[in-house]
Structure 1
Amino acid sequence: MRQDMEMPRPLDMLPKAHLHLHFTGSMRHSTLIELAREHGVHLPDALEQDWPPRLRATDERGWFRFQRLYDIARSVLKRPEDVYRLLREAAEDEAAEGSRWLEIQVDPSGYAQRFGGLTATLELVLDAAEAAASSAGIGMAVIVAANRTRHPLDARTLARLASQYAGRGVVGFGLSNDERRGRARDFDAAFRIAKRAGLLAVPHGGELMGPASVAECVDDLGADRVGHGVRAAESPRLMERLADRQVTCEVCPLSNVGLGVAGSPEDVPLRRLFDAGVPIALGADDPLLFGARLLPQYQLARDVYGFSDAETAELARQSIRSSTAPDPMKKELMTEIDAWLATE
């Protein structure tokens, strides 16, 4: 028996980047409870004693319930210090799991009314992210995300806002929420604005809908990475295109299971995508609602999908290559991954 099978290398010591984490969804459950009590926000059982909630978003009713729980969680963030706390704790949790670079996604529209408008909200998040990164000793950047259930003109407004902060903490522009309620191509103008500013295009696709959703993100939005993208595994030709163009899929296995996209961890096609040469960045999506942060996704790669330590190291490398971390940091992290793999 190989020694690495007898004594697996510790995954929390493997340097990695986390590229699919939503702002509200990054909150610790204990912090949600504490802030709710402090601000007098009533939490449903699903967010308190029955946490993590049982979710299924493959139909509209299930997705509505998911969004309702998300909105309730968002409502406990009422003061600037709450935002600072959320990001400080998120950075601490990343560092504890070996995540050395975090790109966190936020839609400023969800907080604009309470924090003085879109610009003031984004600046608050950027300031809090900078402080959190410094405190935890990791790198952190922000992705501004539009909501595909809102009008494409709202997305253009957010793309222009994100563009103003390109190079000042904002590194990408995304598109999230229910794929069934807004086609990617309807938001092409917003993504052109973001691309002109040098921002990465990182829309969600291929989660609730099939391979065509992923293809639209790539063809119409010029996606550099696709949030989730797991349904691409249903099309060998699409996987070949993603591999050829090195478009990364931000795969979040326990989110896929939590929302009913996959019936069980074994049903998430991580191995199929990896073997097809599609770059992968494992992500946690919304730990607050799915009950698992980044490290359990890597544990699944080892325990469920049968990844060797060499293959797991390659997953970490792919996450770093796909990130916007500065080149010197990427080089340093790659060297540290090699060192992790060389340990006996």
Structure 2
Amino acid sequence: MRWERAPVGPVSAFGAGPDRGKGLPDSGRVRQDPWMEHVRDVRDLPKAHLHLHFTGSMRPSTLLELADKYGVRLPEALTGAEPPKLRATDERGWFRFQRLYDTARSCLRAPEDIQRLVREAAEEDVRDGSGWLEIQVDPTSYAPLLGGLIPALEIILDAVDSASRETGLGMRVVVAANRMKHPLDARTLARLAVRYADRGVVGFGLSNDERRGMARDFDRAFAIAREGGLLAAPHGGELSGPSSVRDCLDDLHARRVGHGVRAAEDPRLLRRLAEKGIICEVCPASNVALGVYEKPEDVPLRVLYDAGVPMALGADDPLLFGSRLADQYDIARRHHDFTDPELAELARQSIRGSAAPPDIREKLLAGVADWLKS
């Protein structure tokens, strides 16, 4: 039997899921034309989601409801039917992106808001075929409204535990430090993350504008996290070039790199990533939304894949970038001609690169094999 790929509509988080409906038709599912023998739906492909930010996971409709609840006046960019126009390759553009993110975060003020966000993020992931989600959060951003740093993290972890039970999705947390803040703050967060490793924290990250600060300034924080058994997953290789990826490897001993896509510009670095099995958490839609690449076909997915660099496709911030997890696989299929066996391998790489326990990994990997047989 010959398997054909179908064209899909515009990739948009506002076009799939219960509160969207203005982008991809039929809840974002791939359309099957009569002449096609069979098209596998990427939403039926079991996968792990390793790059999703907390506030950025919010549904647009939820943001509107919470803003109304608390009397927060949202900028027009956050109230339209389409994702905001962003370009963060310069400081002004990054400031605008960060300002929109901070505005959305200001609408999360009570434990029930946190619970809703996490439950809905889990529901979206399940709908997209995810069997494992590691959601990334800096609890210091929520501490002022949730009673302090420790209460904030406990509220988040309780919400993750509840959402996992309710949806059946395996969920854990990556605590992320902010590179715009002092490295001592990162050390405090690393100690806190280790303290809650038995409650669902599996990794330690470093986010925000990678053009600011040096990775080595945070080496002690990452050493604390690694010594406590957490995986190191800092951001690098998105707004800055290959050198920022090398810094993540050399200074922070990263096992995964958030984004890492700019490694494609350095063949020697590609070989190193491939040989060491370092996972790059590649987020194609956000790369285009932030202006790192002009078009989806410019994102070097093929370069990384053909070099043997393991990847875990991620949605990053669906609220602002307009696409969720399965849409990233649609991009690989539509714009880079990834075959179904190659998409299945991407899913396997995401599962193998996760912190999921062996039984969940085995179940998801078996599901990938079943998808290919379907």
Per the TM superposition, whether the score is higher than 0.5 is: yes
Q: 1:169 aligns with which of 200, 220, 224?
A: 200
What displacement does 1:300 show?
Answer: 0.7
Corresponding residue of 1:63: 94
> 1:186-265, aligned counterparts within 5 Å?
186-265=217-296
TM-score (norm. length: structure 2): 0.91
Q: How far apart are the structure 2 equivalents of 1:323 and 1:153?
A: 28
Q: How far apart are the structure 2 equivalents of 1:302 and 1:219?
A: 33
Aligned residue identity for 2:94: W
Q: How far apart are the structure 2 equivalents of 1:180 and 1:3?
A: 44
Say whether residues 1:96 and 2:131 are aligned partners: no
Contact 1:107-1:144 at 8 Å conserved across structures:
yes
Say whether residues 1:30 and 2:61 are aligned partners: yes
What displacement does 1:50 show?
Answer: 6.1
Larger displacement relative to structure 2 (161-170 or 171-180): 161-170
Q: 1:88-141, CA deviations, whole angstroms, 9 ceiling, x for partnerless residues? A: 000001001100100000000101111111111000000000101111111000
Local SS of the residue matching 1:315? helix
Local SS of the residue matching 1:181? coil
Contact 1:45-1:51 at 8 Å conserved across structures:
no
Q: 1:275 aligns with which of 306, 321, 324?
A: 306
Contact 1:281-1:319 at 8 Å conserved across structures:
yes
Q: How far apart are the structure 2 equivalents of 1:110 and 1:294?
A: 24
Q: 2:180 aligns with which of 146, 149, 163?
A: 149
Corresponding residue of 2:26: none
Listed as ranges, the gaps of 5+ residues in structure 2 are 6-35
Q: How far apart are the structure 2 equivalents of 1:304 and 1:25?
A: 24
> 1:289-300, aligned counterparts within 5 Å?
289-300=320-331
Q: 2:142 aligns with which of 111, 124, 128?
A: 111
Q: 1:143-189, CA deviations, whole angstroms, 9 ceiling, x for partnerless residues? A: 00000011100100000000101132000000000011111111000
After the TM superposition, which parts of structure 1 deviate over 3 Å for at least 4 consecutive aligned residues?
A: none
What displacement does 1:39 show?
Answer: 0.9
Aligned residue identity for 2:194: S
Aligned residue identity for 2:221: A
What displacement does 1:212 show?
Answer: 0.4
Q: How far apart are the structure 1 equivalents of 2:311 and 2:71?
A: 41
Q: How far apart are the structure 2 equivalents of 1:3 and 1:161?
A: 49
Q: How far apart are the structure 2 equivalents of 1:63 and 1:123?
A: 30
Larger displacement relative to structure 2 (204-213 or 44-53): 44-53
Percent of aligned positions that are identical: 66
Q: How far apart are the structure 2 equivalents of 1:181 and 1:202?
A: 17
Larger displacement relative to structure 2 (109-118 or 191-200): 109-118
Aligned residue identity for 1:211: P
Aligned residue identity for 1:122: L
Corresponding residue of 2:79: 48
Q: 2:117 aligns with which of 61, 77, 86?
A: 86
Contact 1:251-1:281 at 8 Å conserved across structures:
yes
Q: How far apart are the structure 2 equivalents of 1:267 and 1:133?
A: 36
Corresponding residue of 1:2: 2
Q: How far apart are the structure 2 equivalents of 1:173 and 1:108?
A: 12
Corresponding residue of 2:344: 313
Corresponding residue of 2:318: 287
Corresponding residue of 2:18: none
Aligned residue identity for 2:223: R
What displacement does 1:4 show?
Answer: 3.9
Local SS of the residue matching 1:179? coil
TM-score (norm. length: structure 1): 0.98
Say whether residues 1:76 and 2:107 are aligned partners: yes
> 1:123-134, aligned counterparts within 5 Å?
123-134=154-165
Q: How far apart are the structure 2 equivalents of 1:61 and 1:303?
A: 32
Q: How far apart are the structure 2 equivalents of 1:183 and 1:63?
A: 18
What displacement does 1:51 show?
Answer: 3.7
Listed as ranges, the gaps of 5+ residues in structure 1 are none
RMSD: 0.9
